[in-house]
Amino acid sequence: MRQASEQLAATGKQIEAERAHLDGEVASQRGALARCVSKNAQLYAAGQEILQAYEGLGVLDVMQARQPFAAQSRVRLEQIAQQYGDQLYQGRFDARQTSDTSAAPAPAPQ
């Protein structure tokens, strides 16, 4: 009888430890999901900005960017493209950040 009681107590402790471990994993996964949702919203907003920018892009803007003597216009469009690229890069999800809930976005590649 005593042995059965000890076995039940050991099994109960093991189950409780496993439950605590799984609770930790669930909390970690919920944090990762929240970061994914946030990153998804950032990417969606960046995508909407890109679409709006292309809607406002006229034929004259495209022609100016293609002309060799219109370097200023080309540089302006390249800067805008770089800004959108940076926004998209910052919006990506990095699985390495799943354990750190307050991690800053990774720097853009050079």
- Whether the CA torsion 59, 61, 62, 64 is positive or negative: it is positive
| Spatial separation of the C-alpha atoms in residues 65 and 29, rounded to whole Å | 46
Residue range 23-48, pLDDT digits in tens: 999 999 999 889 888 888 888 888 88
The confidence score (pLDDT) of residue 98 equals: 62
Is it the case that residue 96 has pLDDT exceeding 90?
A: no
The confidence score (pLDDT) of residue 102 equals: 43
109: nearest Cα among 91, 93, 86:
86
Question: Two tokens at 90?
Answer: 């910052």
Residue range 81-94, pLDDT digits in tens: 888 888 888 877 77
- Tell me which of 27 and 61 has the higher pLDDT: 27
